[in-house]
Each structure stands twice: as C-alpha cells, then as structure tokens.
Amino acid sequence: MPAPDFTALAVRLIEWHALHQRSLPWRDAPAGERDAYRVWISEIMLQQTRVETVVTYFERWMARFPNLDALATADLHDVLKEWEGLGYYARARNLHKAAQRVMADYGGQLPATRAAILDLPGIGAYTAGAILSLAYAQAEPILDGNVKRVLTRLFDIDRPINDPAVLRDLWALALALVEAAPAGQAGISNEALMELGAMLCTPQNPRCLLCPLAVHCRSAAAGTQAERPVMPPRKQTPHYDVAAGIIWQGEPYHSSVLIAQRPADGMLGGLWEFPGGKRDPEDVDLPACLRREIDEELAIEIEAGDLLTTVKHAYTHFRITLHAFHARYRAGTPQAIGCTDWRWVELAKLDQFPFPVTDQKIIAALRLYA
C-alpha cells in the first residue's frame, strides 16, 4: 500500500464528520471555536466514562458552575457532590485546583499555549490537545482510546498498544494528520477522528463498509481489524473483602449515624463514607475486621451487629466485596486518625454529602428499612 496521504485522510474525515457527527451539549459551536472551559470540562468528564453518562452530568455541572470563576470559588465539598457517581474523583479535585490557578495566573481564561496548559493540575497531553484544537483551532494532536484504535488499524500496527515506541509512533501519526487538515480545521479533524472510533471503528465488529477511510486502511486490506490494536496480556485482578460500619449513636434508624471523610490526597479523596477497611489475614472474621478498623481510624469502641448489605464493585486495578454491618457506638470520643473529618449525621441528611458509589448503595439499602 502506498505511503499515506494525510491531507486526503483529513479531508475525508472532515467531510464524513459534517454529515454524521452526534449532537452533544458540549458541541455548541463548531470545533475550533468553542468555549475553552466547556471543552475542558467535557473532556475531563469523558475520560474513562461513557458519552451517554456524561451528558447528564455535563448539563448539571454547567448549571451549577457555568464558568471558571464559579468553579474556582466553589467549595470543594460542592464540587465533589456534583461529581458524585462519575468516579475517578481526582479529576474533580484537579478541576477545582486548576480553576483556582487559572483565575489567579491567567485572569480567568484557560491559556492557549501547550506548555502553560500542561502545567495545570490534571491536564495531560490528550486534554491539552483537545482544548487547544477544539477551542483555539491549533494543530495539536489528540490520542485517546478511540484514536489509538483507529490509527493502529489504519496503519496495521502489530505491536502492543502499551509499548512506548508504539505510543510515540501514534502521537507522530496523530500530529501528521492534524497538521494536514485544512487551515482552521484542526479541531474538526481531531473530533472527526474521535467520532470515527466511537461510531464506526468500534472495539468489536467495526463497520468497515461505512468507514470513510476504508480505502486507506491497511488492516482492512489485510483483514486484521479484529486483531488491532494488539493488547497487552491481562493481569489477574486482586480481590479484597472490606467491612464498613453503619455506626448508630443510639437506636438504629432513630439516631444519627457516624460518617468519615477520606484523606484528600488518597483514593476517593474528600468523599465521605461509612468507616471501615480491608480485612487483614489476622482478622478472624469481618466483624473483627470492622472493630479493628474503627479503632485504628477513629479510636472508638463499637459493637458490630447484623449485616445490612453486601456490595461488589470493580475499580481500575482491583475488585472489592464491601460488607456493611450495623454497629452500635459504645465508648470513646471519635478522633480523625485515619480520616480527615467525621460527623454524626441524621439518615435524612446524608444526601448533603458526596459519597462513593459503594456507599450510595449502602444508603439505598438503609432507606429500604427506614
């Protein structure tokens, strides 16, 4: 197959995109002319999250934090509450930090240079390229999961996708493609590439007959679409049993319950939870695990009671089974030893706090019996 004509590829992508692009709330202006704040928020939300899920969150976020100033001056508690359910909460914390930096250092306008935008918390090479091309029409490349898949098939790359040399090659190809786009249309070319991966060049059963790049696609010519990209071997995902306590100050369902705030710099940082932790080998059973964890985290004595519910959840690198037990507060003054803060809260007021998905399921189970 002859060397790729990047100009022809870019033109075909742009023409296809004009006819087939999806209508999404963050696409309120042509690519290259959009509000940088809206581009930034949408791209951060779309990381590791399906478009269908993001639409509702994006619209609600924009109603609450319509601009950088509104986000920068908001309390982190409120930011995390709006993010509740999207997962990967470091994204929300970094948005808040970056907004404050932009207000302080750039007069409330996201910078339009690669070096400056990469210096902001939570912004990497992909997000920088998205903002610079979609908001400022700069010929900056993007490389998300969809684009990686399209490019590895288009050029029939037969090496593992996580190989550093392959990633360098993919960035180079993405740059060549965006630089070949007609003047002022770099953002449209980038968006078309992402859209192609989402709509046609899908992980399973790619719709090659409808693809505007099919005549240029080396995988299509070789019949290797299903083998691209080459994925690294999957590692076994560890599993942990976790005990959580619904610690009642008095009678269950007729008194306040104890919640704790996770450390800001850790996993799920800043969120609130029913306190507890991972079972250790020396714990004879889950109630023993719960008593130990509560002593280590809050320095109080509890009496573990009946199991309320069991929640299974998968994170990026491990899985848990969370066992939520009713518990009775017995002695001691709670201290923030293994947490940032703690509160006694009425069951009806738990909605005022941002919780991880697992703890939201515990709350739902509690309300079945309240």
User: What is the tens place of the pLDDT at every residue in 236-291?
Assistant: 899 999 999 999 999 999 999 999 999 988 889 999 999 999 999 999 999 999 99
Query: Is residue 252 domain-shared with residue 213, that is, in the same domain?
Result: no
31 belongs to a structural domain: yes
234 belongs to a structural domain: no
Res 24: pLDDT: 95
Number of folded domains that form the chain:
2
User: What is the tens place of the pLDDT at every residue in 129-145?
Assistant: 999 999 999 999 999 99
Res 235: pLDDT: 85
**Boundary residue ending a domain (206, 227, 248):** 227
Query: Is residue 147 domain-shared with residue 38, that is, in the same domain?
Result: yes
Which of 213, 218, 236 has its CA nearest to residue 228? 218
The residue-averaged pLDDT of 303-324 equals: 95
309 near 365, Cβ under 8 Å?
yes
Place of tokens 């390229």: 129
Question: Which amino acid, 68?
Answer: L
Res 264: pLDDT: 86
Query: Is residue 159 domain-shared with residue 265, that is, in the same domain?
Result: no
Query: Is residue 168 domain-shared with residue 307, that is, in the same domain?
Result: no
Residues 6+ apart with CB under 8 A from 225: 153, 206, 208, 217, 219
Which of 297, 342, 263 has its CA nearest to residue 93? 263
Instruction: Quote the mean pLDDT of the chain.
Output: 94
Q: How far apart are CA 302 and CA 22, in angstroms?
A: 54
| Dihedral over Cα of 281, 282, 285, 290: its sign | negative
153 belongs to a structural domain: yes
1 belongs to a structural domain: no
Statement: residue 66 has pLDDT above 80: yes
Statement: residue 39 has pLDDT above 70: yes
**Counting every residue, how long is the chain?**
370
Query: Is residue 180 domain-shared with residue 32, that is, in the same domain?
Result: yes
Res 3: pLDDT: 63
Statement: residue 116 has pLDDT above 90: yes
Known catalytic residues are: 43
Counting DSSP H helices and E strands in the chain, the numbers are 14, 7
Which of 296, 299, 310, 301 has its CA nearest to residue 244? 310
Query: Is residue 216 domain-shared with residue 296, that is, in the same domain?
Result: no
Q: How large is the angle between the packed helices 186-199 and 6-20, nearest 10 degrees?
A: 70
Statement: residue 110 has pLDDT above 80: yes
Query: Is residue 214 domain-shared with residue 254, that is, in the same domain?
Result: no
Query: Is residue 172 domain-shared with residue 277, that is, in the same domain?
Result: no
Query: Is residue 306 domain-shared with residue 197, that is, in the same domain?
Result: no
Statement: residue 295 has pLDDT above 60: yes
Q: What is the CATH number of the domain that holds 12?
A: 1.10.340.30
Q: Within 13 Å and on the Cβ side, how many CA atoms surround 65?
A: 27
The residue-averaged pLDDT of 66-73 equals: 97
Q: How far apart are CA 18 and CA 219, in angstroms?
A: 25
229 near 157, Cβ under 8 Å?
yes
pTM over 0.75: yes
**Boundary residue ending a domain (161, 192, 227):** 227
**Boundary residue ending a domain (227, 261, 291):** 227
Query: Is residue 104 domain-shared with residue 253, that is, in the same domain?
Result: no
User: What is the tens place of the pLDDT at every residue in 84-97?
Assistant: 999 899 999 999 99
Statement: residue 151 has pLDDT above 90: yes
Statement: residue 125 has pLDDT above 70: yes
User: What is the tens place of the pLDDT at every residue in 214-241?
Assistant: 999 999 999 999 999 999 988 889 999 9
Res 316: pLDDT: 85
Res 370: pLDDT: 74
Q: What is the CATH number of the domain that holds 360?
A: 3.90.79.10
183 belongs to a structural domain: yes
Query: Is residue 80 domain-shared with residue 175, that is, in the same domain?
Result: yes
pLDDT tier for residue 63 given thresholds of 50, 70 and 90: very high
Structural domain boundaries enclosing 55: 6-227
87 belongs to a structural domain: yes
Statement: residue 175 has pLDDT above 80: yes
232 belongs to a structural domain: no
102 belongs to a structural domain: yes
**3-class SS at 320?**
strand
Res 1: pLDDT: 54
Query: Is residue 221 domain-shared with residue 256, that is, in the same domain?
Result: no
Question: Which amino acid, 127?
Answer: T
Residues 6+ apart with CB under 8 A from 166: 152, 157, 159, 160
